[in-house]
Copies of this chain bind each other. A is one copy, B any other.
Amino acid sequence: MTPRKVTIIDIAKRLNISKSTVSRALSNHHSIGLRTKMRVTQLASELNYEPDNRAIFFKQRKTYLIGLILPSLSNTFFASIVSGVEDVAYQKKYTLLLGQSRDDQEREKSIVETMKNHRVDGMLVSISKSTTSYEHFKLLEKNNIPVVFIDRIPEMKNIHFIACKLENGMIEAVSFLVKQGHKIIGLINGPENFSASKERYSAYLKALRKNKIKPDKKLITCSDLTIDGNVAASKKLLALARRPTAIITFNDYVALDAIDYCKRQKIRIDKDISFVSFANEAICNYMDHPPIASVEQFPYQQGQKATEMLIEIIEKAKPENENKKTFNNLLLQSQLVIRGTH
Protein backbone atom coordinates (compact mmCIF):
# COMPACT_ATOMS: atom_id res chain seq x y z
CA MET A 1 0.00 0.00 0.00
CA THR A 2 1.78 3.07 -1.23
CA PRO A 3 1.11 6.39 0.47
CA ARG A 4 -1.92 8.13 -0.94
CA LYS A 5 -1.64 10.84 -3.53
CA VAL A 6 -3.29 14.24 -3.75
CA THR A 7 -6.93 14.11 -4.83
CA ILE A 8 -9.55 16.66 -5.72
CA ILE A 9 -11.04 16.06 -2.29
CA ASP A 10 -7.88 17.37 -0.65
CA ILE A 11 -8.10 20.47 -2.77
CA ALA A 12 -11.81 20.87 -2.05
CA LYS A 13 -11.26 20.64 1.70
CA ARG A 14 -8.51 23.22 1.75
CA LEU A 15 -10.56 25.71 -0.23
CA ASN A 16 -13.79 24.85 1.55
CA ILE A 17 -15.64 24.09 -1.63
CA SER A 18 -17.18 20.88 -2.97
CA LYS A 19 -15.25 18.35 -4.98
CA SER A 20 -17.53 18.75 -7.98
CA THR A 21 -16.57 22.39 -8.11
CA VAL A 22 -12.91 21.40 -8.12
CA SER A 23 -13.50 18.91 -10.89
CA ARG A 24 -15.33 21.46 -13.01
CA ALA A 25 -12.82 24.17 -12.28
CA LEU A 26 -10.00 21.95 -13.52
CA SER A 27 -11.83 21.12 -16.70
CA ASN A 28 -12.67 24.78 -17.23
CA HIS A 29 -16.41 24.39 -16.98
CA HIS A 30 -18.42 27.57 -17.69
CA SER A 31 -20.48 27.42 -14.55
CA ILE A 32 -17.50 28.03 -12.29
CA GLY A 33 -16.45 31.57 -11.46
CA LEU A 34 -13.12 32.88 -12.59
CA ARG A 35 -11.87 33.53 -9.09
CA THR A 36 -12.61 29.98 -7.97
CA LYS A 37 -11.03 28.52 -11.07
CA MET A 38 -7.85 30.41 -10.39
CA ARG A 39 -7.68 29.42 -6.75
CA VAL A 40 -8.19 25.77 -7.69
CA THR A 41 -5.66 25.58 -10.49
CA GLN A 42 -3.19 27.43 -8.32
CA LEU A 43 -3.49 25.04 -5.40
CA ALA A 44 -3.58 22.01 -7.71
CA SER A 45 -0.20 22.81 -9.17
CA GLU A 46 1.20 23.66 -5.76
CA LEU A 47 0.23 20.25 -4.47
CA ASN A 48 1.34 18.47 -7.66
CA TYR A 49 -2.13 17.17 -8.17
CA GLU A 50 -2.39 14.48 -10.87
CA PRO A 51 -5.76 13.07 -11.93
CA ASP A 52 -6.19 9.34 -11.46
CA ASN A 53 -6.97 7.81 -14.82
CA ARG A 54 -8.54 4.80 -13.22
CA ALA A 55 -11.24 6.84 -11.57
CA ILE A 56 -11.95 8.62 -14.84
CA PHE A 57 -11.87 5.58 -17.09
CA PHE A 58 -13.79 3.62 -14.50
CA LYS A 59 -16.92 5.56 -15.23
CA GLN A 60 -16.18 5.78 -18.93
CA ARG A 61 -15.68 2.02 -19.13
CA LYS A 62 -12.51 2.68 -21.05
CA THR A 63 -8.85 2.46 -20.14
CA TYR A 64 -6.93 3.54 -23.22
CA LEU A 65 -4.83 0.45 -22.67
CA ILE A 66 -3.88 -1.99 -25.40
CA GLY A 67 -2.42 -5.38 -24.61
CA LEU A 68 0.29 -6.83 -26.83
CA ILE A 69 1.40 -10.44 -26.50
CA LEU A 70 4.32 -11.79 -28.47
CA PRO A 71 6.25 -15.03 -28.18
CA SER A 72 9.55 -13.30 -27.53
CA LEU A 73 11.01 -9.85 -27.41
CA SER A 74 14.67 -10.56 -27.89
CA ASN A 75 13.93 -11.55 -31.47
CA THR A 76 14.39 -8.63 -33.88
CA PHE A 77 11.31 -9.52 -35.87
CA PHE A 78 9.05 -9.19 -32.85
CA ALA A 79 10.98 -6.21 -31.54
CA SER A 80 10.11 -4.43 -34.78
CA ILE A 81 6.46 -5.28 -34.29
CA VAL A 82 6.55 -3.80 -30.78
CA SER A 83 8.15 -0.70 -32.13
CA GLY A 84 5.46 -0.24 -34.78
CA VAL A 85 2.69 -0.89 -32.31
CA GLU A 86 4.06 1.54 -29.78
CA ASP A 87 4.48 4.31 -32.33
CA VAL A 88 0.85 4.16 -33.42
CA ALA A 89 -0.50 3.60 -29.92
CA TYR A 90 1.40 6.61 -28.65
CA GLN A 91 0.14 8.76 -31.45
CA LYS A 92 -3.46 7.74 -30.78
CA LYS A 93 -3.10 8.28 -27.02
CA TYR A 94 -3.22 4.65 -26.04
CA THR A 95 -0.77 2.97 -23.71
CA LEU A 96 0.79 -0.39 -24.34
CA LEU A 97 0.69 -3.37 -22.00
CA LEU A 98 3.31 -5.90 -22.99
CA GLY A 99 3.71 -9.59 -22.34
CA GLN A 100 5.83 -12.34 -23.83
CA SER A 101 4.44 -15.85 -23.99
CA ARG A 102 7.82 -17.53 -24.47
CA ASP A 103 5.93 -19.83 -26.83
CA ASP A 104 4.20 -21.37 -23.86
CA GLN A 105 0.45 -21.75 -24.08
CA GLU A 106 -0.08 -21.57 -20.34
CA ARG A 107 1.89 -18.38 -20.00
CA GLU A 108 -0.03 -16.93 -22.92
CA LYS A 109 -3.32 -17.80 -21.24
CA SER A 110 -2.21 -16.30 -17.97
CA ILE A 111 -1.17 -13.05 -19.63
CA VAL A 112 -4.47 -12.84 -21.49
CA GLU A 113 -6.22 -13.31 -18.17
CA THR A 114 -4.25 -10.58 -16.46
CA MET A 115 -4.73 -8.11 -19.26
CA LYS A 116 -8.42 -8.87 -19.38
CA ASN A 117 -8.64 -8.09 -15.69
CA HIS A 118 -6.82 -4.84 -16.29
CA ARG A 119 -9.68 -4.14 -18.69
CA VAL A 120 -7.59 -3.39 -21.75
CA ASP A 121 -9.66 -1.87 -24.52
CA GLY A 122 -8.27 -4.38 -26.99
CA MET A 123 -5.48 -6.84 -27.64
CA LEU A 124 -2.86 -7.62 -30.24
CA VAL A 125 -1.52 -11.15 -30.31
CA SER A 126 1.03 -13.19 -32.15
CA ILE A 127 0.19 -16.64 -30.90
CA SER A 128 2.72 -18.95 -29.32
CA LYS A 129 4.03 -22.00 -31.12
CA SER A 130 2.52 -24.32 -28.55
CA THR A 131 -0.95 -22.82 -28.63
CA THR A 132 -3.49 -25.40 -29.69
CA SER A 133 -6.52 -24.35 -27.67
CA TYR A 134 -8.14 -21.04 -28.39
CA GLU A 135 -10.52 -20.86 -25.45
CA HIS A 136 -8.78 -17.88 -23.91
CA PHE A 137 -9.30 -15.88 -27.07
CA LYS A 138 -12.92 -16.87 -27.37
CA LEU A 139 -13.43 -15.70 -23.81
CA LEU A 140 -12.08 -12.30 -24.79
CA GLU A 141 -14.71 -12.02 -27.43
CA LYS A 142 -17.41 -12.88 -24.93
CA ASN A 143 -16.08 -10.07 -22.81
CA ASN A 144 -16.28 -7.70 -25.77
CA ILE A 145 -12.55 -7.19 -25.92
CA PRO A 146 -11.51 -7.10 -29.58
CA VAL A 147 -8.37 -8.96 -30.64
CA VAL A 148 -6.29 -8.44 -33.74
CA PHE A 149 -3.82 -11.21 -34.50
CA ILE A 150 -0.48 -10.32 -35.98
CA ASP A 151 1.64 -12.45 -38.25
CA ARG A 152 1.05 -15.68 -36.36
CA ILE A 153 -2.61 -16.37 -36.92
CA PRO A 154 -4.61 -19.08 -35.17
CA GLU A 155 -6.86 -21.35 -37.18
CA MET A 156 -10.09 -19.79 -36.00
CA LYS A 157 -13.07 -18.46 -37.84
CA ASN A 158 -14.28 -14.92 -37.48
CA ILE A 159 -11.16 -13.15 -36.33
CA HIS A 160 -9.42 -9.92 -37.10
CA PHE A 161 -5.88 -10.32 -38.30
CA ILE A 162 -3.02 -8.85 -40.20
CA ALA A 163 -0.21 -10.76 -41.79
CA CYS A 164 2.26 -10.60 -44.57
CA LYS A 165 1.46 -12.61 -47.63
CA LEU A 166 4.44 -14.73 -48.44
CA GLU A 167 3.22 -16.28 -51.64
CA ASN A 168 4.22 -13.45 -53.92
CA GLY A 169 7.59 -13.14 -52.20
CA MET A 170 8.23 -16.83 -52.62
CA ILE A 171 7.28 -16.64 -56.28
CA GLU A 172 9.60 -13.70 -56.79
CA ALA A 173 12.34 -15.62 -55.01
CA VAL A 174 12.02 -18.73 -57.13
CA SER A 175 11.69 -16.76 -60.34
CA PHE A 176 14.75 -14.76 -59.41
CA LEU A 177 16.75 -17.93 -58.84
CA VAL A 178 15.51 -19.46 -62.08
CA LYS A 179 16.52 -16.34 -63.94
CA GLN A 180 19.98 -16.78 -62.45
CA GLY A 181 20.11 -20.21 -64.02
CA HIS A 182 19.16 -22.39 -61.06
CA LYS A 183 17.11 -25.49 -61.71
CA ILE A 184 17.45 -27.48 -58.53
CA ILE A 185 16.05 -25.35 -55.73
CA GLY A 186 15.74 -26.73 -52.21
CA LEU A 187 13.64 -25.53 -49.30
CA ILE A 188 14.50 -25.54 -45.61
CA ASN A 189 11.18 -24.83 -44.00
CA GLY A 190 10.18 -24.23 -40.37
CA PRO A 191 8.22 -26.60 -38.12
CA GLU A 192 5.44 -28.31 -40.03
CA ASN A 193 2.66 -27.20 -37.73
CA PHE A 194 3.45 -23.51 -38.26
CA SER A 195 0.98 -21.82 -40.51
CA ALA A 196 3.94 -19.79 -41.74
CA SER A 197 5.58 -23.06 -42.81
CA LYS A 198 2.48 -24.29 -44.55
CA GLU A 199 2.22 -21.05 -46.42
CA ARG A 200 5.84 -21.18 -47.56
CA TYR A 201 5.38 -24.78 -48.57
CA SER A 202 2.40 -24.27 -50.82
CA ALA A 203 3.83 -21.07 -52.24
CA TYR A 204 7.04 -22.92 -53.02
CA LEU A 205 5.12 -25.57 -54.94
CA LYS A 206 3.12 -22.94 -56.78
CA ALA A 207 6.27 -21.03 -57.65
CA LEU A 208 7.93 -24.15 -59.04
CA ARG A 209 4.85 -24.86 -61.13
CA LYS A 210 4.89 -21.35 -62.47
CA ASN A 211 8.48 -21.84 -63.51
CA LYS A 212 7.76 -25.26 -64.93
CA ILE A 213 10.01 -27.07 -62.50
CA LYS A 214 9.00 -30.46 -61.23
CA PRO A 215 8.98 -30.53 -57.43
CA ASP A 216 11.20 -33.09 -55.75
CA LYS A 217 10.20 -34.15 -52.25
CA LYS A 218 13.79 -34.81 -51.29
CA LEU A 219 14.56 -31.15 -51.80
CA ILE A 220 12.15 -30.12 -49.10
CA THR A 221 13.02 -30.40 -45.44
CA CYS A 222 12.12 -28.88 -42.12
CA SER A 223 14.06 -27.44 -39.22
CA ASP A 224 12.98 -26.75 -35.67
CA LEU A 225 14.86 -23.46 -36.04
CA THR A 226 17.52 -24.29 -33.49
CA ILE A 227 21.11 -24.10 -34.67
CA ASP A 228 21.41 -27.88 -34.60
CA GLY A 229 18.16 -28.25 -36.50
CA ASN A 230 19.29 -25.78 -39.11
CA VAL A 231 22.61 -27.53 -39.57
CA ALA A 232 20.97 -30.94 -39.76
CA ALA A 233 18.58 -29.72 -42.44
CA SER A 234 21.43 -28.21 -44.43
CA LYS A 235 23.41 -31.40 -44.17
CA LYS A 236 20.48 -33.39 -45.45
CA LEU A 237 19.95 -31.28 -48.55
CA LEU A 238 23.62 -30.93 -49.37
CA ALA A 239 24.23 -34.65 -49.11
CA LEU A 240 21.71 -35.39 -51.86
CA ALA A 241 22.94 -37.02 -55.02
CA ARG A 242 20.85 -34.49 -56.90
CA ARG A 243 22.21 -31.62 -54.89
CA PRO A 244 20.43 -28.25 -55.00
CA THR A 245 22.30 -25.28 -56.45
CA ALA A 246 20.07 -22.93 -54.48
CA ILE A 247 18.23 -23.18 -51.21
CA ILE A 248 15.39 -21.08 -49.91
CA THR A 249 15.28 -20.91 -46.13
CA PHE A 250 12.54 -20.17 -43.62
CA ASN A 251 14.37 -17.09 -42.38
CA ASP A 252 17.74 -15.37 -42.30
CA TYR A 253 19.00 -17.22 -39.25
CA VAL A 254 18.44 -20.56 -40.90
CA ALA A 255 20.34 -19.30 -43.93
CA LEU A 256 23.20 -18.04 -41.79
CA ASP A 257 23.56 -21.38 -40.03
CA ALA A 258 23.39 -23.14 -43.37
CA ILE A 259 26.01 -20.84 -44.85
CA ASP A 260 28.18 -21.44 -41.83
CA TYR A 261 27.87 -25.17 -42.35
CA CYS A 262 28.75 -24.85 -46.03
CA LYS A 263 31.87 -22.89 -45.25
CA ARG A 264 33.04 -25.55 -42.86
CA GLN A 265 32.37 -28.15 -45.54
CA LYS A 266 34.26 -26.10 -48.11
CA ILE A 267 31.15 -25.71 -50.17
CA ARG A 268 31.56 -22.36 -51.88
CA ILE A 269 28.78 -19.86 -51.26
CA ASP A 270 27.35 -18.22 -54.38
CA LYS A 271 29.41 -20.61 -56.51
CA ASP A 272 28.45 -24.12 -55.49
CA ILE A 273 25.31 -22.96 -53.78
CA SER A 274 23.20 -19.84 -53.32
CA PHE A 275 20.77 -18.92 -50.58
CA VAL A 276 17.62 -16.88 -50.53
CA SER A 277 15.86 -16.36 -47.22
CA PHE A 278 12.98 -14.65 -45.48
CA ALA A 279 12.94 -11.68 -43.08
CA ASN A 280 15.60 -9.45 -44.61
CA GLU A 281 17.33 -8.71 -41.34
CA ALA A 282 19.48 -5.61 -41.52
CA ILE A 283 22.38 -7.42 -39.99
CA CYS A 284 22.90 -9.42 -43.17
CA ASN A 285 24.36 -6.32 -44.75
CA TYR A 286 27.46 -6.90 -42.69
CA MET A 287 28.05 -10.44 -43.82
CA ASP A 288 30.62 -11.41 -46.39
CA HIS A 289 28.31 -14.00 -47.84
CA PRO A 290 24.76 -13.17 -46.91
CA PRO A 291 21.83 -14.77 -48.69
CA ILE A 292 21.74 -13.15 -52.13
CA ALA A 293 18.17 -12.07 -51.54
CA SER A 294 15.64 -12.10 -48.75
CA VAL A 295 11.88 -11.69 -48.58
CA GLU A 296 10.94 -8.67 -46.49
CA GLN A 297 7.95 -9.25 -44.23
CA PHE A 298 7.56 -5.72 -42.89
CA PRO A 299 7.16 -6.42 -39.17
CA TYR A 300 7.23 -2.74 -38.24
CA GLN A 301 4.44 -2.00 -40.69
CA GLN A 302 2.48 -5.02 -39.52
CA GLY A 303 2.64 -3.63 -36.01
CA GLN A 304 1.46 -0.25 -37.19
CA LYS A 305 -1.40 -1.51 -39.30
CA ALA A 306 -2.57 -3.94 -36.66
CA THR A 307 -2.72 -1.17 -34.10
CA GLU A 308 -4.59 1.14 -36.43
CA MET A 309 -7.04 -1.63 -37.16
CA LEU A 310 -7.53 -2.42 -33.49
CA ILE A 311 -8.10 1.17 -32.46
CA GLU A 312 -10.59 1.61 -35.24
CA ILE A 313 -12.49 -1.44 -34.03
CA ILE A 314 -12.38 -0.18 -30.45
CA GLU A 315 -13.60 3.26 -31.28
CA LYS A 316 -16.44 2.31 -33.52
CA ALA A 317 -17.67 -0.42 -31.17
CA LYS A 318 -21.10 0.38 -29.82
CA PRO A 319 -23.59 -1.84 -28.06
CA GLU A 320 -26.12 -1.40 -30.85
CA ASN A 321 -23.68 -2.79 -33.39
CA GLU A 322 -23.41 -5.93 -31.33
CA ASN A 323 -24.96 -8.25 -33.86
CA LYS A 324 -23.64 -6.84 -37.10
CA LYS A 325 -20.01 -7.60 -36.49
CA THR A 326 -17.63 -7.72 -39.39
CA PHE A 327 -14.12 -9.07 -39.34
CA ASN A 328 -11.20 -7.17 -40.71
CA ASN A 329 -8.19 -8.72 -42.22
CA LEU A 330 -5.31 -7.28 -44.11
CA LEU A 331 -2.56 -9.01 -45.98
CA LEU A 332 0.50 -6.99 -46.77
CA GLN A 333 2.48 -8.05 -49.79
CA SER A 334 5.92 -9.36 -48.99
CA GLN A 335 8.77 -8.21 -51.16
CA LEU A 336 11.95 -9.83 -52.40
CA VAL A 337 14.94 -7.66 -51.63
CA ILE A 338 17.98 -8.41 -53.70
CA ARG A 339 21.18 -7.55 -51.94
CA GLY A 340 23.65 -5.36 -53.72
CA THR A 341 27.00 -7.01 -54.20
CA HIS A 342 29.45 -5.29 -52.00
Contacts and interface: CB of A to CB of B under 8 A. Distances in A.
A327 interface: no
A5 interface: yes
Chain A, interface residues (CB within 8 Å), range: 35 or more
Contact of A119 (B52, B142, B288): B52
A142 B96 contact: no
A80 to B, nearest CB: 5
Given A74-B79, A96-B99, A3 B144 contact: yes
Given A2-B62, A54-B63, A83 B76 contact: no
Given A287-B286, A289-B288, A50 B116 contact: yes
Interface in A237-268: 256, 259-260
A12 interface: no
Given A3-B319, A76-B79, A116-B50, A111 B98 contact: no
Nearest to A314: B2
A143 interface: yes
Contacts of A287: 286-288
A86 interface: yes
Given A90-B99, A117-B52, A4 B260 contact: no
A316 to B, nearest CB: 11
A139 B48 contact: yes
Interface string A113-127: 011111101000000
B116 A61 contact: no
A152 to B, nearest CB: 18
A54 B62 contact: no
A317 interface: yes
Most buried by B among A74, A142, A259: A74
Interface string A1-29: 11111000000000000000000000000
8 contacts: A2-B314, A2-B317, A73-B82, A73-B86, A74-B79, A96-B99, A260-B286, A288-B289
